[in-house]
Structure 1
Amino acid sequence: MQENIIDIKSLDMDARGVGHIENDDGTPGKVVFVEGALPGERVGFETFKKKKNWEAARMTVLHRASSMRVQPKCEHFDYCGGCSMQHLEPTAQVAIKQRVLEDNLWHIGKVHADNIMRPMYGPTWGYRYRARLSVRWVEKKGTVLVGFKEKRSVFVADIKSCQILPKHVSDMLLPLRALIGSLSLYKEVPQIELAIGEDVTALVLRIMAPMTADDETKVKAFADQYGVQFWLQTKGPETAAPFYPLDQELHYLLPEFGVRMPFKPVDFTQVNHHINRVLVHKALHLLDVQPEDRVADLFCGLGNFTLPLATQAREVVGIEGSTTLTERALSNAKANGLDGKTTFYCRNLFEITPDDLLALGKFDRMLIDPPRDGAATLCESLGVLRKTNPEFLPKRIVYVSCSPSTLARDASVLANQAGYAISKAGVVNMFPHTSHVESMAVFDLA
């Protein structure tokens, strides 16, 4: 059988090599996405999914290697879905993510940034302080598996260690498997949520059946042996409650601003604590807050940006779509002595209108940190204010994004409807060895 061979020209958003099957006349034909292949490489491939205009494949033979290729550090990389880019040199990973951001800004938003910022780096191994680990009893193997899903599969990868988790958690994976396997409800634990603070490691067991007294004894003994705190979650995230020990509290620090942030293991916090400090520092530096400024922090969560901003501005207004979150953010502000300079409102920012923005009053500067869906309605409302009440527009916006495509979409609205120039943009390597692109852009009122 003739081998399928292809030259790889680029990487897609899922870190797959992209090439084209040549037509009979030598012109580029159908596009092929090849897992494990890198730009500049010539590879043999095997197709596992075929459509009219594209194919998905896996690399079978490496005929010509890229200078960017490295040996993956993790022994489970070939089949574990937790990482997709360990075979690519870390600085090259960031360069490709920067290219993804620039391509999205142009191809989706039809905009360019005046300046591309240097990428923000952090540790590339042991950085993941949050993770959702899948759990499954596998009858054929006679064991419980704990880890990430396999690539292209709903099955749990059989991993014994993980290089992107902190070492003390990686070393705990096999003992965790043994613990779950020893419980009466070993088939009723579908996931474990991991959250690490400055001095506490919390594990949230999602349990579908009640524990027996013997189960509780085993879990407590494990907590004592490995120095972790267990939480139990019986239904949705709101049901998560501490189980043992009860005298511990998760928190992280933003020492540059003297801020201590308590959080629960099911709260949204950044995966990479080191990069979060860099992210907050950079965002506030770019926002260039003055002591007399009134600042908006939209999609504020627990106050990750709000509280540091409050150390610099006259007033900061944090807005989030959850009453629970805004109450928790206010509690954090009080704990840090910043409640006198912060106000929190619960608003659905996906439905915010120009009138809603006017009712909040004029802001000198604005920070936007939305989820993957972006902030389309908010940006469109700012566009309306450009026509009706331009004096209410903040003179500078810093937009922190976890999706370059929605950032590009929103950047187009801010540039073409709200009258902002994109002065700077760049990537933040929050998730090394994955295709996830975190980025930041600065918009100045033209």
Structure 2
Amino acid sequence: MNAPALIESLDFEGHGIARVDGKTIFIDGALPRETVSYKSYRIKPRFENAEATQIHTTSHMRVNPPCPHFGVCGGCSMQHLEFTGQVAAKQRVLEDNLKRIGNVSAEMMLPAIYGPEWGYRQRARLSVSYDAKQNEVRLGFFERRSKVIAALNECRVLPPHISKQILPLRSLLKSLSIKDRILHIELAVGEHVDILVLRTPVAPNKADQALIKKYAEQWKVQFWLQAKSVEAATPFYPLDAPQLSYSIPEFGIVMRYKPTEFTQVNHHINRTLVARAMDLLKPQAGDVIADFFCGVGNFTLAVAKSGAKTLGMEGLQQLVDRANESASDNHLTGNTSFKVANLFEMTESWLKKLGHFDKMLIDPPRDGAHELCKSISAQNGPKRIVYVSCNPSTLARDADVLVHEKGYTLKAAGIVNMFPHTAHVESIAWFEKH
């Protein structure tokens, strides 16, 4: 056991940071301005990872975590911090990354985008394990710092009607002959249907199928089966269920998608995020705009609603097919086009061949868009770039390129609290050509 330490701030994963004898200690469960005792579980020459064992001086931002699984389940690790404090902490993480990694500061910090604290998660992957000795099925997320699955009875970030199914779903899995062969369940909650994808290399037998059908009817869900890759996922029962979809009412857009295709997990925040992105991008009829890492066309179709000619590019053919389908559904094929491309291998000559873009929207995965940003012409690049990020460190790295090499100014940036009660930081930034 170590002597009490004063917590100075939070790191990007929500751990309290203390300095003890010149060494940095990252302490789970500690908040700024608290004095805590701690026990280290990882010791390195320059830093330690530790667990708070006793809170001596309590932060006014500390609250009692409402989830009964807090402290065991590895998700939602910031529940002990009051909600507005979580938002403020994430804003500081963004600002710190921009300054420390990118050597840039936004001229204006945007108001944070946030929404409901609980029941927000419309997509999730629930891991499954079976213990033959205990004859027990576990369903949920991994425990903290472990590959063991937490045995959840509920999950408050899932919609309430889905959280209520965790125990019945565990019972269903336990009753199946293939209970030891189910890897995970992919959950997708749409506006008109809820889908559970059973990922298992072994097909259910007739008795299993009957049990699955009975559950589907009782809980009004649709089951899919996935034996191999995500492309192999197919509907099982019922076959006449509505298609999975979400809407962006402000732009009159409805997006269809499959449960294994990437979409934002928080539909409420996504609507606000799309509106914020359009407000910053300001697409107009006559503009030629690129949407890189376009996915199913989440931003592309909103851009196209303005009358701008829009090119969406994405690395997976399946997502491009879905984007084309949504463009057709929403009567936007006249000013949209989509292409498959590996944007992580973008070069300046390749980007030049696509033609000139007046504006650009970039929404990459966690690795960021470094090669793309390096490929933008310093002389003839788009006058405006809106960058949607799910990793503040790669956003900061790419901002360094755009500002110090390509002649852009970081006009504004702000966080998007897509994942409340977690340390995950999403953000949006607006770059303007000098």
TM range (shorter): over 0.9
The residue that corresponds to 1:58 in the other structure is 51
Which residue does 1:252 correspond to in 2? 246
Which residue number corresponds to residue 198 of structure 1? 191
Task: Tell me, yes or no, if structure 1 residue 75 matches structure 2 residue 68.
Answer: yes
Residue of structure 2 aligned with 1:282, choices 266, 276, 281: 276
Show the 5 A alignment for 1:400-439: 400-439=388-427
Matched, 1:131 2:124: yes
Q: What is the TM-score when the length of structure 2 is the normalising length?
A: 0.98
Residue type of the partner of 1:119?
A: A
Report the counterpart of residue 265 of structure 2 in structure 1: 271
Shift, 1:124, TM fit: 0.8
- Report the counterpart of residue 304 of structure 1 in structure 2: 298
Counterpart check, 1:395 vs 2:395: no
Greater CA drift, 230-239 or 319-328: 319-328
Which residue of the partner structure matches residue 157 of structure 2?
164
For 1:26, the equivalent position in structure 2 comes to none
Provide, for residues 47-89 of structure 1, a one-character-per-residue CA deviation record: whole Å limited to 9, x for no partner. 1111111111111111010011001010110110111100000
- Unpaired runs of 5+ residues, structure 2, are none
Matched, 1:186 2:179: yes
**Contact map agreement 2:308 2:335 (CA 8 A) in 1:** yes
Deviation at 1:3, TM superposition (A): 4.9
Q: Does 1:31 align with 2:24?
A: yes
Instruction: Please tell me whether the aligned partners of residues 7 and 41 of structure 1 are also in contact (alpha carbons under 8 angstroms).
Output: yes
Task: Tell me how far apart the structure 1 counterparts of residues 2 and 25 of structure 2 sit (CA, whole Å).
Answer: 15
Amino acid at match of 2:422: T
Q: After alignment, is 288-297 or 183-192 more displaced?
A: 288-297
Q: Is the 2:256–2:322 Cα contact (8 Å) retained in structure 1?
A: no
Q: What RMSD, in angstroms, separates the aligned Cα atoms of the two structures?
A: 1.0
The Cα of 1:318 is off from its aligned counterpart by 0.5
Matched, 1:13 2:7: no
> Contact between 2:293 and 2:362, CA under 8 Å: does it hold in 1?
yes
User: 1:161 & 1:264 partners in 2: Cα distance?
Assistant: 25
Distance 2:148 2:3 in 1: 29
Structure 2 equivalent of residue 25 of structure 1: none
Structure 2 distance, partners of 1:139, 1:348, is 44
Query: Which one of 139, 142, 148 corresponds to residue 146 of structure 1?
Result: 139
Match of 2:81 in 1: 88
Q: Which residue of 2 is the match for residue 347 of structure 1?
A: 341
Tell me the secondary structure at the aligned position of residue 72 of structure 2: coil
Say which SS state the counterpart of residue 120 (structure 1) adopts: coil
SS in 2 for 1:350: helix
Deviation at 1:324, TM superposition (A): 2.3
Shift of 1:314: 2.7
The answer to whether 1:371 aligns with 2:370 is: no
Deviation, 1:208, is: 2.5
- Report what 1:216 is aligned to: 209
Cα distance between partner residues in 1 of 2:307 and 2:263 = 23
1:174 and 2:173 matched: no
Cα displacement string for residues 132-181 of structure 1 (whole angstroms, at most 9, x for unaligned residues): 11111124543101111000000000110111111011100000100000
Letter in 1 for 2:174: G
Quote the Cα distance in structure 1 between the aligned partners of 2:322 and 2:40. Answer: 50
- Decide whether the 8 Å contact of 2:283 with 2:308 is kept in 1: no
CA distance in structure 1 between the partners assigned to 2:156 and 2:100 by the alignment: 35
CA positional deviation for 1:209 = 1.5
Which deviations, in whole Å up to 9, do the C-alpha atoms of 1:106-132 show, x marking residues without a partner? 100011111101101111100011111
Alignment of 1:441 with 2:433, yes or no, is no
User: How far apart, in 1, do the equivalents of 2:314 and 2:2 lie?
Assistant: 55
- What is the CA–CA distance in structure 1 between the aligned matches of 2:87 and 2:70, rounded to whole Å? 19
Unaligned runs of 5+ in 1: 23-28
**Relative to 1, partners in 2 of residues 1:93 and 1:140: Cα closer, same or farther, differing over 3 Å?**
farther
Aligned with 1:187: secondary structure? helix
Q: What is the deviation of 1:254?
A: 0.7
How far off is 1:345 after superposition? 1.2
Structure 1-normalised TM-score? 0.96
Letter in 1 for 2:68: E
**Greater Cα offset, 97-106 or 205-214:** 205-214
Deviations 1:315-354 (A, max 9, x none): 1111111222212211110111101110111111111111
Identify which range, 426-435 or 202-211, moves more after superposition.
202-211
**Alignment check: 8 A CA contact 1:231 1:243 kept:** yes
What amino acid is the match of 2:309? E
Inter-partner Cα distance in structure 2 for 1:252 and 1:207: 27
Contact 2:40 2:50 in 1 (8 A): yes
CA distance in structure 2 between the partners assigned to 1:141 and 1:169 by the alignment? 26
Runs of 4+, deviation exceeding 6 Å? none
Question: Residues of 2 paired with 1:268 and 1:78: CA distance?
Answer: 29
Describe the superposition over 1:199-236 as per-residue Cα deviations: whole angstroms up to 9, x where unpaired.
21111101121211000000011000001111111112
Q: Contact 2:295–2:319 at 8 Å: present in 1 too? A: yes
The one-letter amino acid paired with 1:177 is R
CA distance in 1, matches of 2:198, 2:424: 26
Q: Is this contact kept in 2: 1:8–1:39, CA < 8 A? A: yes
Alpha-carbon distance between aligned partners in 1 of 2:287 and 2:349, rounded to the nearest angstrom: 22
The superposition leaves residues 291-319 of structure 1 with CA deviations (integer Å, 9 ceiling, x where unpaired) of 22111111001100011111103311111
* Separation in 1, partners of 2:92, 2:64: 23
Range 133-142 or range 5-14, more displaced: 133-142
2:156 and 2:350 map into 1 onto residues whose CA distance is: 46
Give the residue type in structure 2 aligned to 1:132. R
% identical equivalent positions: 52
Decide whether the 8 Å contact of 1:6 with 1:44 is kept in 2. Answer: yes
Within 1, Cα distance between the matches of 2:414 and 2:162?
31
Partner SS for 2:344? coil
For 1:323 and 1:118, locate their aligned partners in 2 and report how far apart those are by CA, in whole Å.
36
